[in-house]
């Protein structure tokens, strides 16, 4: 690991106060220990994308998110699955950022995980998010894939993760993201 911690921007696709995905990102922060410093993005104030509004001025919450993405060494997403895809709030934020220059996700190291109450653990949303961000030229960590199924049975109401295997799996993803980021920075 690098002597200076990497900066990781954590983006949850859920606005829910007791979100399993936001809780998973906090676990990732814990597992990173000294190898990475986490910042948590706030998508709650980003307006629905509207080209007319974009033509007038980029809203402040979108500008702030763009600055955060550009400043981060890497991005870690955690997304719920809504109707076989990513949440509307996450897709909307990406739609806004995709219209900016410079493109914030271009050449950015990215990892994704998902948490869902279903048996699939958000797998379909995760693959959809990968497809979207590949178009924007993000560089993904391919393994390990972290898909937290039956999340309501693994997290308590305070966001505490009772499942140690899941915690360790999240830790392996954070390690892989840090190693991938350092590898890309050396190029």
115 pLDDT band, cuts 50/70/90, is very high
Cα separation, 45 vs 29, in Å, equals 23
pTM of the model: 0.94
* Residue 65 near residue 93, CB atoms below 8 Å: yes
Looking up residue 159, the CATH number of its domain turns out to be 3.40.50.360
Does 130 reside within a domain?
yes
158 pLDDT band, cuts 50/70/90, is confident
Does 178 reside within a domain?
yes
Q: What is the extent of the structural domain holding 22?
A: 6-186
Reported residue count of the chain is 187
User: What pLDDT sits at residue 1?
Assistant: 44
Rounded to an integer, the average pLDDT of 158-176 is: 91
- Summarised one tens digit per residue, pLDDT across range 36-64 is 999 999 999 999 999 998 999 999 999 99
E strands within the chain? 6-12, 36-40, 74-79, 109-115, 139-140, 146-148
Does 1 reside within a domain?
no
Cα separation, 64 vs 125, in Å, equals 25
User: What pLDDT sits at residue 180?
Assistant: 96
User: What pLDDT sits at residue 3?
Assistant: 67
State the total domains in the chain.
1
Does 134 reside within a domain?
yes
- The number of beta carbons lying within 10 Å of the beta carbon of residue 161 is 20
Rounded to an integer, the average pLDDT of 154-170 is: 87
- Summarised one tens digit per residue, pLDDT across range 61-91 is 999 999 999 999 999 999 999 999 999 999 9
């Amino acid at each position: 690991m690098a002597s200076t911690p990497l900066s990781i921007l954590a983006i949850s696709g859920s606005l829910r106060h007791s979100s399993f995905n936001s809780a998973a990102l906090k676990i990732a922060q814990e597992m990173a220990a000294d190898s990475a410093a986490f910042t948590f993005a706030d998508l709650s104030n980003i307006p629905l994308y509207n080209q007319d509004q974009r033509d007038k001025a980029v809203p402040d919450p979108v500008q702030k998110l763009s600055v955060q993405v550009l400043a981060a060494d890497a991005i870690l997403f955690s997304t719920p699955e809504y109707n076989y895809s990513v949440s509307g709030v996450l897709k909307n934020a990406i739609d806004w950022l995709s219209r900016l220059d410079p493109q914030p996700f271009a050449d950015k190291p990215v990892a994704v995980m998902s948490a869902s109450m279903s048996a699939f653990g958000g797998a379909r949303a995760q693959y959809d998010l990968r497809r979207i961000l590949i178009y924007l030229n993000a560089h993904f960590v391919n393994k390990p894939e972290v898909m937290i199924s039956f999340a309501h049975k693994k997290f308590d109401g305070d966001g505490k993760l009772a499942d140690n295997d899941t915690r360790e799996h999240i830790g392996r993803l954070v390690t892989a993201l840090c190693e991938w980021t350092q590898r890309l920075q050396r190029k």
